Amino acid sequence: MEKLDNEPFVEEPGTINEDEIKTQTFKKGLIIIIISAVLIVAALIIILIFFVFEKDDGNSNSDSTPDSDSSDFNYINAKYMIDFPTNETIIFHSSYLDSIRLLKIDGNNVTIENNKTFDNEGVHTIQIFFKNTLTSLDNLFFQINTLQEVDFTNLIHSEIKSASDLFNGCEMLINVTFNEHYEKITNISNLFAGCQSLQSINMNSFEKDTLIDISGLFSRCGSLENIILDKFNTKNVINMTNLFYECGYLEEINLTNFKTSNVKHMSNMFYGCFSLKSIDVSSFDTSKVINMNGMFDGCNEITSLSLKNFDTKNVVDMYFMFADCYKLRSLDISSFKTDKLEDMFGMFKKCISLEEIDISHFNTIKVKDMSDLFGNCTILKKVNLKNLKTDNLEYVIGMFENCISLTSLDFTYFNTQKVVDARYMLTDCTNLKIIDFSNFDSQKLDYYEGIFSGLTSEGIIKYNSSIFNETILNLLPEDWTKEDINQ
C-alpha cells in the first residue's frame, strides 16, 4: 500500500527502535557492573573475615584444628625411661586426653584413644601435639615417674596462667627446658615437688612480675644442687610456703634478687635444707608476713643467722622456726616485734649449739603455746624470761626439757593463771639448782606429769602455797628444799 505524505508514521508490529535498543543495552551493562562490584566487595569481605579469624586462631582457644600432619605447631618434646613396661605406664595426666590432637612415639603416629602404654623397655622419645593454645599446665605430668626430660620450646605458651603440680612426683626427671618467658603465669606451686633426681634448674624464664604462688616449688627435690634465680621475679609473690622444703643437697642459694614485700607466707621455706652452710636474707622485706613457722627448721649446718632486718609485726606463728638448727651458735633476732604472735611451740627446739637466747624484748601477750620452746637446748646456760607477758599462755609442755646446762630459772614474772598443761616442763634439767615459782599460779593446771622428772642432787624451789598446788611438789627429788614465800 502506498504511503501518503501527510499520514503519520506508524511502526509496524515486530520492529524495534534503534534508540531503545541502545538504552536497554546500557541498562543491562550497568546492572552487570553493579552486580559484579557487589560480588567483588562481598568476596573481599569474606577474605578479610577469614584472614582475621585465622590470625586470631593462633592466639586463642579456637575450636579449629590444625593439620594433623603439621610437625612444627604447639607441641612438647619429652623422653621417658621405661624399665618394666606395664599396662599402667602412662605418659601424661588423663585430664588432658581431649586436648591432644596428635601423639608421636619414637617418630610414629599413634591413635589417641587412651593414655598410650609402652610395649618395650628403654628410652622413648615422645611428641605431644595439642589442639589449641593451652591456658594451664596443671598436673600435666603429675606423678609420671618414668619421665626424664621435657622441652617446652615449641609449645605456644602466651596464654598459660598456671603450672601447679606440673612435675609433682616425677622422680626420674633430670632436665627441663622452658619457653623463653611467660607473660601471664601466676601459679607454679609444687611445680617440681618430689623431683628427686633433678640436680639443676634454670628459672630465668619466669622474669615477669605475674607470679603470685610459688609454694612448694622445689619441695622434696632431694638431689637439687643448683638453682639459677638471677631473673626469677618474685615482686608480686604472696606465698613462699615450703619453697625449698627438704632440698637437702643445696649448699647455697642466691636470694639477692628476691623481692618479698608482698609475701604473707614463709612457713617451712628452708625446712630440711641440711646442707646449707649460710643464708643471706638481708634483702628480705617481711612486713606483710603472717607465718614463719618452721622457716629454718632443720638447717643443720648454719652456724650464724642474722635476721636483724626482719619486720615481724604481723607474724602470728613462729613454731619450730629454728628447730633442729644443730650448729647455730649466733642468732640475731633483736628486731623482732611480736605483738601478734600466738604460737612459739618448739621455736628453738634442739638448737644444741646455742648458749644464750635473748627474747626479753618479745611481746608474748597473745602467745598460747610455749611447749618445747627450748627443749633439748643442751648447752643453753642463760634465758631471760623477765619481760615476757604470758597472760594468755596455756601450754608449757617440755618447755625446758633436757636443758642440761641450765642452773637456775626465774619464773617470777611469768603469768600462769591460764596454764593447763605443764607436763615434762623441766624434765632432765640435770644441773638445775634453783627454781623460782613464787608467782606460779597452778590453779588451772590439770596436767603436770613428769614436770620435775630427772632433776638430780640438791636444789631449792620457791613457791606460794596460796596459788600453787603443793601436791605437785611431791614430784621433786626428796633432797630438794621447798620454800613457801607465803609463810
Burial of 134-150, coded b for 16+ CB within 10 Å and e otherwise, reads bebbbbbbbebbbbbbb
Contact 381, 353 (CB under 8 A): no
If phi over 0 gives left and psi between -120 and 50 gives alpha, with beta otherwise, what is residue 461? Answer: beta
Please state which of the ranges 52-61, 200-209, 212-221, 474-483 shows the lowest mean pLDDT. 52-61
Q: Is the pLDDT of residue 11 over 70?
A: no
Chain segment 388-414, per-residue pLDDT in tens: 899 999 999 999 999 999 999 999 989
Q: Structure pTM?
A: 0.82
Average pLDDT, the chain: 88
pLDDT of 303 reads 96
H or E, element range at 28:
helix 18-57
* Per-residue model confidence as pLDDT tens digits over 352-395: 999 999 898 999 999 999 999 999 999 999 888 888 899 999 99
pLDDT (tens digit, 9 = 90+) per residue, 123-166? 889 999 999 999 999 999 999 989 999 999 999 999 999 999 99
CA distance 260 to 271: 18
What number is the average pLDDT over the span 211-223?
98
Q: Is the pLDDT of residue 15 over 60?
A: no
pLDDT per residue as tens digits for the range 330-340? 999 999 999 99
Average pLDDT of the segment spanning 247-256:
94
Per DSSP (E only), the strands in 152-284 are 175-177, 200-202, 226-228
- Using a 10 angstrom Cβ sphere, with 0-12 exposed, 13-18 middle and 19 or more buried, the burial of residue 238 is middle
Min mean pLDDT across 8-17, 36-45, 168-177 is at 8-17
464-486 average pLDDT score: 95
What does the alpha-carbon distance between residue 96 and residue 135 come to, in Å, rounded to a whole number?
12
CA–CA dist 417, 440 (Å, integer)? 8
- The 10 Å Cβ neighbour count of residue 117 is 13
Spatial separation of the C-alpha atoms in residues 258 and 260, rounded to whole Å: 6
Cell digits of residue 475: 614430784
pLDDT reading at 469 higher than 90: yes
Q: Give the H or E element holding residue 99.
A: none
Report d(CA 209, CA 213) in Å as an integer: 12
